[in-house]
A and B are shown apart, each in its own frame.
Chain A
Amino acid sequence: MIEEIIFMKGYGLYVWSAFSFTLISFATLYVLIKINLVKEQNKFTVKFGLLNDAEVKVAKAQSTNREILLSRISSKI
């Protein structure tokens, strides 16, 4: 049973390599995109921290800015 799943009548190498390649590609793309996202979120947090009170007020008036800060906090949790 297990042997048939692994070797698949001689086609196991082809089948498993096709599925492995697909899943590795998925994982690689996900990690790369995630790294970029976190990098931009961190950059945003740092830049936001450098703003003075008046600038913070202006920046916080935009819902997207508030949402970015919120998503940063929730992803840390």
Chain B
Amino acid sequence: MFKFLEPNKIFLITSKAPKYVFFIFIVVLSIGLVEALFISPEDYIQSHSVRIMYVHVPSAWISLGIFSLIALLSVGSFIFKNKNFPLIAKSLAPSGFVFNIIALVTGSIWGKPTWGTWWAWDARITSMLILVLFYSMYILAWRIFDKKEQVIKITSIIAILGVINVPIIKFSVDWWSTLHQNSSVNILSETSIHPSMLVPLLIMTAAFSLFSLLIFLMKYNTELIKIKNKGLDRL
């Protein structure tokens, strides 16, 4: 099962893909920045500070999505004993971590003009901070432990425990009284954001997704070459 996910087969694609992904990312990001900074209208209450949404929201979405994917791959590696799943999960972590940091920092910058404070121990913000800690533990575990079986087990446990925090982050604004506003973009219910703001938001989300794909591909290639370097030593 999952033979198409064998590193040797994937590498034929991942080694060539980064340059194309990089080019598309630059194009989409440029369009997104023009839309977000110059074309989209200011908010009638928050004025121009609403533009921070175009970097804050996609970063938060992607960091949550990547962590969920890491947890899913960790469960998959336990069930299917697939050796490539942990490698894919490991390669996804750096971009997820950076997007998590960006979401927290840009949220803090947005909080100052909107709430009058840089930081509040609010349910949404605190749960996002906990996610950063899980990302840090996950990345550090890969660096600390040497034995392959041991590191896969430990990182998988961290990811599976950490993913419990993902629905808490998502529903924190509904479950507790928080400073953070409710979701404006919903898949299952009505979206309350105006199309003039939704379009730049989606373009920026596409750009950020492309960036995380680019980083994933480069990191995956690095990890695979590391393995091949060890293989050359054994020849």
Contacts and interface: CB of A to CB of B under 8 A. Distances in A.
Contacts, number: 120
B110 A14 contact: yes
27 contacts: A5-B38, A8-B48, A9-B48, A11-B49, A15-B49, A18-B52, A18-B55, A18-B105, A18-B106, A22-B106, A29-B95, A29-B215, A30-B218, A34-B218, A36-B222, A37-B225, A40-B225, A43-B225, A44-B228, A47-B233, A59-B235, A64-B8, A64-B228, A67-B11, A67-B15, A68-B11, A71-B15
Given A21-B105, A21-B106, A43 B229 contact: yes
Contacts of B225: 37, 40-41, 43-44, 68
Contacts of B229: 40, 43-44, 47
A34 B215 CA distance: 9
Contacts of A71: 15-16, 221
Nearest to A17: B109
Interface residues of B, number: 46
Interface on chain B toward A: helix, strand, loop, or mixed SS?
A: helix
Interface of A: 5, 8-12, 14-15, 17-19, 21-22, 25-26, 29-30, 33-34, 36-37, 40-41, 43-44, 47-48, 51, 55, 58-59, 62-65, 67-68, 70-71
Q: Is the interface of A mostly helix, strand, loop or mixed?
A: helix
